Amino acid sequence: TTIPKLYLGFRDDTTHSIDYTSLYNVTNVWVDTNKIVHLGGGTKITFDSLISLVNKRLGWYRWFSRPGERNLTPTLVIGGAVLFTTFRPSAAVCSYGGEGRLYALYYRTGTAYKDPFLGVAGDTHRVFITLGPGMPSEPSLYVSSDQTKVFIQVGGGIVSPETGIPGLPRSGVILWKAR
């Protein structure tokens, strides 16, 4: 189907009734390599100002840019990042093909973070990367004392894109001194 789909993030509480239109639309909001946020229409603000805007609206939503694109797997939320995969089926109704993407959004804004999770494209921090043909699995995380990796199965293989997720936990010894 070509009905547009969206992804949203909101603060869950029991005092507000939430409809997606009451959330902040971050579909066309982007962060540049100088950590400046572009809202559209030439308006530029700081990243902290974007957090304030989204907080006032109790959350955010983002429309997927491709017709038929949808999120079909569970989301991984860690270190300030919301990682999820999407799939867009082939336009041919009788075909089994399609293409997957990995999104990495900052949990408080639904946009790229001020330091890129998925690298940059020109002067813009990426919010997604293309994984290739096939329906991708949910993102899986591997954390060791010296590395953190995200793995996704897609098209009969496993991909592990580079992610710069801040605040990731590290394994290892933690010193505890009792008095």
What's the predicted TM-score (pTM) here? 0.86
Q: Which residues pair with 108 in a beta bridge?
A: none
pLDDT at 37: 96
Q: Are 167 and 79 in contact (CB under 8 A)?
A: yes
Question: Low-confidence residues of the chain, pLDDT below 50?
Answer: none
Q: Are 40 and 28 in contact (CB under 8 A)?
A: yes
pLDDT at 23: 92
Query: Left (φ > 0), alpha (ψ -120 to 50) or beta: where does 120 sit?
Result: beta
Q: Are 100 and 85 in contact (CB under 8 A)?
A: yes
